[in-house]
Structure 1
Amino acid sequence: MDEFAERWGNAWNAHDPAQVLELLTDDIVYDDVREFLDHGWRAFPDLTFELIAGPHVASDGPRAAYWWKATATHQAPLDPPGIPATGKHIEFDGVDIHEYRDGKVAKLRIIVNMNDIAMQLGLLPAPGSTAEKVMVGMQKLRSRLTRS
């Protein structure tokens, strides 16, 4: 498991979709793998991952979880959905949950706090800020208008 974890991390940090895809089964449960990799690495060409903890191996099946930290700079458009480069450096952590078959990942779940990433990129206002209060006020107004 430790050897696989090292190969997994190296594949993601190489920014080479072929290396990541090599570690996935052909029928992996994961949407838009190739497109997701290409778009993410294009928008964040310096994206790197560091393992914080794991692998935490399940005792009842071929599964493991990894806690990791990522750093990146938003240097090109994130498309989709079409967010222009902000030039902002971001740091976030997340968890991967892998289910294995034949020495490859057959099911992959990636858990991250997308609100935190959006705030760091300036796409969402910081908690407690004037911009957040305006945004909440607009949502309350919209809610009232649509109930009428």
Structure 2
Amino acid sequence: MESRGEQTSAQKLDPAWVDEFAELWGNAWNAHDPAQVLELLTDDIVYDDSAWPKTMRGKADVREFLDHGWRAFPDLTFELIAGPHIAGDGPRAAYWWKATATHQGPIDPPGIPATGKQIEFDGVDIHDYRDGKIAKLRIIVNMNDIATQLGILPGPGSTAEKIMVGMHKLRSRHTRS
């Protein structure tokens, strides 16, 4: 990625560069092109996403995550809600975004079959930059909200939720005795 005014080492980040990077990042994800996403990451990327069971280390791990995610949600798109918010203590920025998608393929892991349900959720990216790329990435989403929208978890106040809570209470009593 060519940069203009790139200041992504220990210096303060150039807001214009961060805005440009945020646009490239969003466009890469919305294009569903793994090469575009991976180009914006360092080779030794450390990538932690609430939607994946392990911390990814290196581009091969991230590529596996991308393939699984886009297989399950081939129309996944992101829209920036707020940010980037630049940290004052290092080359870091945070973004608040909204995603929309239709569950058209298996979520694997853990192996949840397609539901055909449309979902909408928001989340936060925290990027740590090095040499004009993301070196560390943390993505935080409310997995309970997503699971509820997909029908994996019961909705708040629903009969199914009440049954689930009742079963948990019985199990708790049983394990204490």
TM-score, normalised to structure 1's length?
Answer: 0.97
Offset, 1:33: 1.3
Offset, 1:18: 1.4
Offset, 1:17: 1.4
For residue 13 of structure 1, the aligned residue among 10, 16, 30 is: 30
User: How far apart, CA to CA, are the structure 2 residues paired with 1:53 and 1:9?
Assistant: 13
For residue 132 of structure 1, the aligned residue among 161, 169, 173 is: 161
Q: Secondary structure at the match of 2:135?
A: strand
What amino acid is aligned across from residue 142 of structure 2 in structure 1? N
For residue 44 of structure 2, the aligned residue among 15, 23, 27 is: 27
User: How far apart, CA to CA, are the structure 2 residues paired with 1:10 and 1:54?
Assistant: 16
Aligned match of 2:147: 118
For residue 75 of structure 1, the aligned residue among 96, 104, 108 is: 104
| 1:91 equivalent in alignment to 2:120 | yes
| 1:58 equivalent in alignment to 2:75 | no
User: How far apart, CA to CA, are the structure 2 residues paired with 1:140 and 1:91?
Assistant: 31
User: How far apart, CA to CA, are the structure 2 residues paired with 1:35 and 1:81?
Assistant: 14
For residue 100 of structure 1, the aligned residue among 129, 141, 144 is: 129
Q: How many residues align?
A: 148
**Which sits farther off after the overlay, 25-34 or 47-56?**
25-34
Q: Deviations over 1:14-36 (max 9, x none)?
A: 11111111101111112131111
**Which sits farther off after the overlay, 24-33 or 60-69?**
24-33
**Which sits farther off after the overlay, 33-42 or 67-76?**
33-42
Where do 5+ consecutive residues of structure 2 fail to align?
1-17, 48-55
Where do 5+ consecutive residues of structure 1 fail to align?
none
What amino acid is aligned across from residue 19 of structure 2 in structure 1? D
RMSD: 0.8
User: How far apart, CA to CA, are the structure 2 residues paired with 1:116 and 1:21?
Assistant: 28
TM-score, normalised to structure 2's length?
Answer: 0.82
For residue 37 of structure 1, the aligned residue among 39, 59, 66 is: 66
Instruction: Report percent identity of matched pairs.
Output: 89
